[in-house]
Amino acid sequence: MRAFWLTAVEDHRASEVAAQLGLAANAVYLARSRVLQRLRAELDGLLD
């Protein structure tokens, strides 16, 4: 969740977040993708 927040909300680069959190850059991209997928699933239908 922290990786998502730093990249999506605070607009940090994935490489910076990866270094800060001790992750691979790919892991940051995956974490962001998974959180976005969950958010889309939760919000699906609310705006219809």
Give residue limits of the domains in the chain.
2-43
pTM recorded for the entire structure: 0.84
Which contacts (CB < 8 Å, 24+ apart) does range 20-29 have? Answer: 27/3, 28/3
Check pLDDT > 80 for residue 47: no
Instruction: Take residue 35 and report the two structure tokens written for it.
Output: 């959180």
pLDDT of residue 45: 79
CA distance 36 to 27: 14
11-35 pLDDT tens trace: 999 999 999 999 999 999 999 999 9
Q: How confident is the model at residue 46 (pLDDT cuts 50, 70, 90)?
A: confident
Q: In a 3-state reduction of DSSP, which class is residue 44?
A: coil
pLDDT of residue 31: 96
